[in-house]
Amino acid sequence: MSTTTATSTPAPATPPISSAPTLTSYGGQDSNSLTPTQQRTRSAMFKALPLTVFAAFIGAWYFMSSWGLQHLFHKPQFLLPPPHKVINESITNVQVRKQLVSATVLSIRVAFIGLVIAIVLGIGLAIFMSQAKWIERSLFPYLVALQAIPILAFVPLLAVFFGFNFKARVIVCVIISLFPIVSNTLFGLLSAEPGAHDLFTLRKASRWTRLVKLQLPAALPATFAGLRIAAGLSVIGSVVGDTFFRQGKPGIGILIDNFRSRLQNEAMYGAVIIAALVGIIVFVFFTWVSEKTIGHWYESTR
């Protein structure tokens, strides 16, 4: 009886394991792989881009004030003075500059106080709503309604209850700034990792420990995003409230309306630019605070 010997076929060669792909920054090439020269070039380009857009904006402004406003929109040229006239009649003009500085200080005070109150109320409401689903469903529709109603609709009501004073302007800032803080903070509190929640449950952590050591740190990126939005809105609320509560010391809103009624267009545009600069400075400040607070452990996709 013959026996057959089984011939074993050689196993296919295992392909070499490729190295893990290099994580790249949003938009393409990994910044760590760039040479120092390339990094300096990229940094210079990022700094030059905003300046290029600003130069294009100034050029478009000159074009519209000298030719485009009259020939394209058939409006008189004095309605849009060129940038150098705006600077001469608002920044370098001593009398107008004193008015602008005084009004800006008042508007910043209103926006700052309103924003602080909105931060305390917003984060407190978000924490309260995060503790139970029924609390969130009970309160959130009214916060949405508060955000949806135009702020101008609140002006007569605030005037009836609080008058036309500093307090009414602060309340306008609180109303317009509250919702982004509540919404973003609540989203962050509820977006903590389920696995981390399970770990805290296994350790029999208290509700307070779970909130302080898990939910609040997880909510910080979203909270700071809400603060940046609310900071700009508080400046808007300060200008809007100042425009309609016309009694008392004038802020930027009253100055803008006064300059408009007197046909001081150069000073009016200067006041608008200062209001925009205040909003940008507040936004940049909260961005800087966010980077200093969570930048060492949180990194976005960009």
Q: For the segment 51-89, what is each residue's pLDDT rounded down to a tens digit?
A: 899 999 999 999 999 998 888 888 888 889 999 999 998
Higher pLDDT, 87 or 151: 87
Contact 110, 173 (CB under 8 A): yes
Between CA 199 and CA 208, with CA 203 as vertex, the angle to 5 degrees is 90
d(CA 264, CA 257): 10
Is 227 a residue whose pLDDT tops 90?
Answer: yes
With cut-offs at 50, 70 and 90, classify the pLDDT of residue 17: very low
Which domains, from first to last, does the chain contain?
Answer: 37-80 (no CATH), 82-294 (1.10.3720.10)
Q: b vs e for 231-262, b when ≥16 Cβ sit within 10 Å of the residue's Cβ?
A: bbbbbbbbbbbbbbbeeeebbbbbbbbbbeee
Distances 21 to 24, 30, 97 between C-alpha atoms, Å = 9, 11, 57
Helix H, strand E, coil C: the string for the chain is: CCCCCCCCCCCCCCCCCCCCCCCCCCCCCCHHHCCHHHHHHHHHHHHHHHHHHHHHHHHHHHHHHHHHHHHHCCCCHHHCCCHHHHHHHHCCCHHHHHHHHHHHHHHHHHHHHHHHHHHHHHHHHHHHHHCCHHHHHHHHHHHHHHHHCCHHHHHHHHHHHHCCCHHHHHHHHHHHHHHHHHHHHHHHHCCCCHHHHHHHHHCCCCHHHHHHHHHHHHHHHHHHHHHHHHHHHHHHHHHHHHHHCCCCCCCHHHHHHHHHHCCCHHHHHHHHHHHHHHHHHHHHHHHHHHHHHHCCCCCCCC
Task: Give me the pLDDT at residue 174, please.
Answer: 93
Whether residue 224 has pLDDT greater than 60: yes
pLDDT for the residue 58: 93
User: In the prediction, which pLDDT does 3 show?
Assistant: 43
Residue 127 has pLDDT above 90, yes or no: yes
pLDDT value for 32: 59
- pLDDT confidence bin for 13, thresholds 50/70/90: very low
The better pLDDT of the pair 20, 109 is held by 109
**pLDDT for the residue numbered 118:** 96
Q: How confident is the model at residue 193 (pLDDT cuts 50, 70, 90)?
A: confident
Across residues 137-148, what is the average pLDDT? Answer: 90
Please tell me the predicted confidence (pLDDT) of residue 19.
Answer: 42
Average pLDDT over residues 163-168: 82
Backbone angles phi, psi at 271, to 5 degrees: -65, -40
Kindly state the percentage of the chain with pLDDT values over 90. Answer: 38
Residue 60, class by beta-carbon neighbours within 10 Å (0-12 exposed, 13-18 middle, 19+ buried)? exposed
Region 11-27 average pLDDT: 44
pLDDT band for position 108 (cuts 50, 70, 90): very high
Query: What integer pLDDT is reported at residue 31 of this predicted model?
Result: 56
Averaged pLDDT of the chain: 83
Largest CA distance in the chain: 120
> If you average pLDDT over residues 117-123, what whole number do you get?
96
With a CB cutoff of 8 Å and minimum separation 6, the contacts of 220 are: 188, 293, 294, 298
Mean pLDDT of 279-288: 89
